[in-house]
Amino acid sequence: MKIEAVNGDITGLQVDAIVNAANQALVGGGGVDGAIHRAAGAAELHQACAAIGYCHPGDAVATPGFRLPAKWIMHTVGPVWRGGDHNEAAILESCYRRSIAAAEELQAKSVAFPAISTGVYGYPPDQAARIAVDTLRSIDSSVVERCLLVAFDETTFRIYISLLDLLS
């Protein structure tokens, strides 16, 4: 599986699936979650999420992409940072694993991930990026061929680039 870093807006990417850093109730919110809901069509996505109802931290569920270029949205709930001693790393790793598993079930060959939990959930960006890169590198997928780590800011983008260059 090829892993790349890109800087930009995840909602406009030409990939099979994008990952949404969702909340447990799947109701949409701020940050990337709100942007995805707006770009996909809030009413349609809200209805699809309401039918699912709930997503546990570390799990992932899929909905159609509606008005997005991506066919699918994988909604995953990352951990709220509480200092690192409350299973945060394992939950974040599970977000990446479960999102790839959901993408595989839908035969998605390309998946774009935001920096899960680094916004209002407060996960330190450097630690979150390390988990993202290490976890994706450890997955042997026969379906997903390409993963994009999408940074919305220059600092996160540089962290991804540094990690990918170090681990090449």
The residues assigned a catalytic role are 33
**Torsions phi, psi of 56, nearest 5?**
-75, 150
**Torsions phi, psi of 158, nearest 5?**
-65, -35
**Strand residue runs (E) in the chain:** 2-7, 17-21, 60-64, 72-76, 110-113, 146-151
Distance CA 74, CA 59 (A): 10
List beta partners, residue 150.
6
